[in-house]
Amino acid sequence: MNLSSPDSVHSGTNTTKASRPGRPANKPQETEPVPAPGVASITHLATKLAEYLTPVELKRVKEAYRFSDEMHLGQVRKSGEPYISHPIAVAEICADWKLDAQAIMAALLHDVIEDQDVKKEELLERFGPQVADLVDGLSKLEKIEFQSVVEAQAENFRKMLLAMASDVRVILIKLADRLHNMRTLGVMVPAKKRRIASETMEVYVPIAHRLGLNDIYRELQDLSFSHLYPLRYRTLSKAIKSARGNRREVVKKILDAVKNQLATAGLPAEVYGREKTLYGIYKKMRSKHLSFSQVLDVYGFRVVVDTVPNCYVALGSLHALYKPMPGKFKDYIAIRKINGYQSLHTTLIGPYGTPVEFQIRTQEMHRTAESGVAAHWLYKTGDQNMTDLQQRTHAWLQSLLDIQQQTGDSAEFLEHVKVDLFPDSVYVFTPKSKIIALPRGATPLDFAYSIHTGIGDHTVSVKINHEPASLRTELRNGDIVEIETDPDSRPSPTWLSFVRTGKARSAIRHHLRTINLNESVELGQELLRQALAQLSIKAELAPSTVDRLLAESSAKSMDEVYADIGIGKRMPALVARHIVSLLGGDVTTVPAQPSNGSELDPVTIYGSEGVAVQLAPCCLPIPGDHIIGQLRRDQGLVVHTADCSQANRLRLKEPDRWIPAQWGTELNRRFDCRIRLLINNEKGILARVAAEIGESDANITYVGMDEDDEHMMTQLRFTIQIKDRVHLAHLIRNLRRVAGVNRVERERA
């Protein structure tokens, strides 16, 4: 994913850059002559701003325009327009939202640091700290060398989101910038169009939705759709235009009927029909496998009334006019969406049996639905009268800072944040009836971490609707969730496999990184020693080599490098190759991983290591099994049996993350193992089996039962704790002698 601006040369748009005084200009590419520049004017923007800015503020905006115009002098967009036309267009979009003077100035100046090497200090001196901070938050980190393009893109996005967390105007300006870029994307080559459109759909569309900016959300969706799938877009657009004539009569009939019905009820209301977005129709066709002719609710209707009680009165009037479809009513007024959206949604059976969707809201709800956070100023954090929307959004922005503090790198930060940018939410209640909004698919652990990191870390069990439930249970709308904690409880690495929110994932990973650090360091040190030995390099590195390695890997100490290897964040073979290059060797002749994993010395496993070494739950290896280890990011070394089917599938995808392992000689603990028995369905059989397991010196931790009515038998599943394979063989032999037991076997993944 590339997070660079589509308008600058860094994202592929060919522009001619102006030089600052005393600096030669870059030459335009000879293969693609730049068209003659047009004319850009600030007149229209000034007219908009004069409606709500003071003369002093307007003067400052014009100063910012003149400075930006001077800096971008001679630089043109690929369309041939002067580059300054782009900042002006971005500022006009911000003016439509009535953003303040500092935000408009930042919009005009948003590319001068990135494109023209203007220093932040110069902006600070000319335009003040607020404008300088906004522009800096919008600028990219071109002066820092990153290990990869992906890392650079993730770091740019991280910086933008963290700037947004302290001042939401940063993302508003960025969205305006992206909107204008998407509107003018037609001059780009198809490959760049798809890349930029994909990035927009993946990152900026969810952010616009999360902030309640529905107008931009819908327009960015449709623009991205038109560039990602141009043929589908044109075909669907043509079909909708053809259908408009056929459906115009239906729409008019519904509008007239609804207006008359509301007037009869004495409700002052605005009623108008709207066509659903092309992408919304396309998504419905894809998800429900429908043709266009089968998508009946292409049109929706909006009813805007004066008060909240009248929303419900209007709902009753509409239900009296047309029959409602069962299960198609949603009350987002009583329980608003996570981005502050409020409306009543109902789907009715209209004329000719056509489903018709209605949204009923007040004027205030309508303003919030269209403008979202842009309609309420969050950056005035000292205001004690923040609306509920402000508080919700402020809490989300604050969570970005929490995730940043617990996250190891930019790519991981981006991963966590993107998890939270899903439009669908589930709404659950605390025992005191407070509503908590979580992403669809969230679990009780996500709920616990959303309340407080300390509660999440110490969670031991949960009750959902007053009944005990598993921590991995998927929450549903209306669930009452009660978390039970224990001060001695700690997060488990397995939690990462089912938590849903970025805050929960980052908190768990942060804990796993800090706990049992010594164990991770020891494991990482052993893995790096093995990797260096394969390259005939001694593990004891010279101080100068260590200093260079730390400087180039952004680590503070070798223990940090070892710990990163031990938890799977760094690959030992790649670190070893890096050391070869520092010693002057040729890394191109060095394999990234030995061709035969068995050439490495096996890692010794004792089974009681803790967080840095785990036994895979899919196959539950026990001493005596042939085992292999998988280095998993932020989970350390996961040990599988060599014949584990899941491990064999994973080895094909990431062969360089697998290393040989062997059991140690002193194993003073019990190991979990699953066994399966096929027994006759007769009285007392379970008691006899359980007694035999106890007499064989094994402990039962779980028992499950499946009936097989066809064969009049029962299948028993046990998880037991044993010493090793010899102990298991002895137990299975004893169980086979129990009357009524037909078959006993160890259960595999």
* Residue 309: burial class (beta carbons within 10 Å; 0-12, 13-18, 19+): exposed
Q: Nearest-CA neighbor of 247 among 208, 275, 223, 268? A: 275
Distance of CA 517 to the CA centre of its chain: 28
Task: State the angle between helix axes of 308-321 and 230-264 in degrees (0 to 180), rounded to the nearest 10.
Answer: 100
Show the beta-strand stretches assigned E in 22-125.
none
Give the containing element (helix H, strand E) for 66: helix 55-71
Measured in Å, how far apart are the chain's first and last C-alpha atoms?
A: 35
Q: How far apart are CA 242 and CA 310, in angstroms?
A: 37
The DSSP call for residue 19 is: P
Closest by alpha carbon to 127, among 98, 99, 110, 106? Answer: 106
Cβ-in-10-Å burial (0-12, 13-18, 19+) of 425 comes to middle
Structure letter (DSSP) for residue 556: S
For the chain, the residue count is 749
Sign of the CA dihedral with 603 first, then 609, 614, and 617 last = positive
Backbone angles phi, psi at 499, to 5 degrees: -70, 155
- Tell me the three state secondary structure of residue 253: helix
Contact 104, 49 (CB under 8 A): yes
Inter-helix orientation angle 169-183/85-96, to 10°:
120
Strands of 307-465, DSSP E: 323-331, 344-349, 355-362, 425-429, 435-439, 459-464
Hey, is 78 helix, strand or coil?
A: coil
Q: Residue written as tokens 């959902």? A: 464
Instruction: Give the pair of three-digit tokens for residue 396.
Output: 């989300």
Between the alpha carbon of residue 152 and those of residues 18, 112, 142, 276, the distances in Å are: 25, 20, 8, 37
Q: Which of 115, 357, 420, 457 is catalytic?
A: 115
Structural contact between residues 450 and 500, judged by C-beta atoms closer than 8 angstroms: no
Beta-bridge mates of residue 304: 270, 361
Residues 730, 735, 737: CA angle, nearest 5 degrees: 105
| Rounded-to-10 torsion of CA 182, 188, 190, 195 | -50
Q: What's the CA gap between 324 and 487, in Å, rounded?
A: 51
Active site residue 199: no
Q: Annotated catalytic, 115?
A: yes
Task: Spot the catalytic one: 114, 457, 482, 526.
Answer: 114
User: What does 655-698 look like in DSSP terms, one character per residue?
Assistant: GGGEEEEEE-S---S-EEEEEEEEEE--TTHHHHHHHHHHHTT-
**Cα separations in angstroms, 146 against 303, 353, 552, 560:** 52, 59, 10, 19
Pairing type for strands 603-605 and 671-680 reads: unpaired
Tokens of 604: 């010794």
State both tokens at 426. 């589930």
Chain centroid to Cα 673, Å, comes to 36
Residue positions annotated with a catalytic role: 114-115
